[in-house]
Amino acid sequence: MQDRAFISAAKIYGRIIVSVLAVIGMVSLGAMQGGWLVATADADAHTNDAGQVPTVTGEAAPLSGNGPTTVTSQLIPVDPSLTYDLSAEVRSLAAKGDDRKGARTYLGVVAYDKDGRRLSSKPTPNRYVAADDYYLVAARGWAPLSGTVGGEGNDVHSQFQPGTRFVRVIALLNHRDETMKSEIRNIRFTPRLQMGMK
CATH number at residue 72: 2.60.120.680
CA distances from 152 to 14, 136, 162, 190 (A): 56, 30, 5, 17
DSSP 105-130: EEEEEEEE-TTSPBP--TT-SSEEEE
Q: Tell me if 93 is assigned to some domain.
A: yes
For 120, 149, 153, 158, 166, the CA distances from 80, given in Å and listed in that order, are 16, 9, 10, 11, 9
Within this chain, do residues 49 and 20 fall inside the same structural domain, yes or no? no
Mean pLDDT of the chain: 79
If residue 136 lies in a helix (H) or strand (E), which one and from where to where?
strand 127-137
- pLDDT tens for residues 49-108? 333 333 333 355 788 888 899 999 999 999 999 999 999 999 998 877 778 888 999 999
Expressed as residue numbers, the domain containing 14 is 1-34
Does 71 lie in the same domain as 28? no
pTM, to two decimals: 0.68
Higher per-residue confidence, 185 vs 47: 185
Q: Are residues 29 and 83 in the same domain?
A: no
Q: Is residue 160 part of a domain?
A: yes
Residues 47 and 3 in one domain: no
Number of structural domains the chain divides into = 2
Q: Say if CB 119 and CB 112 are below 8 A apart.
A: yes
Highest mean pLDDT among 17-31, 123-137, 142-156: 142-156
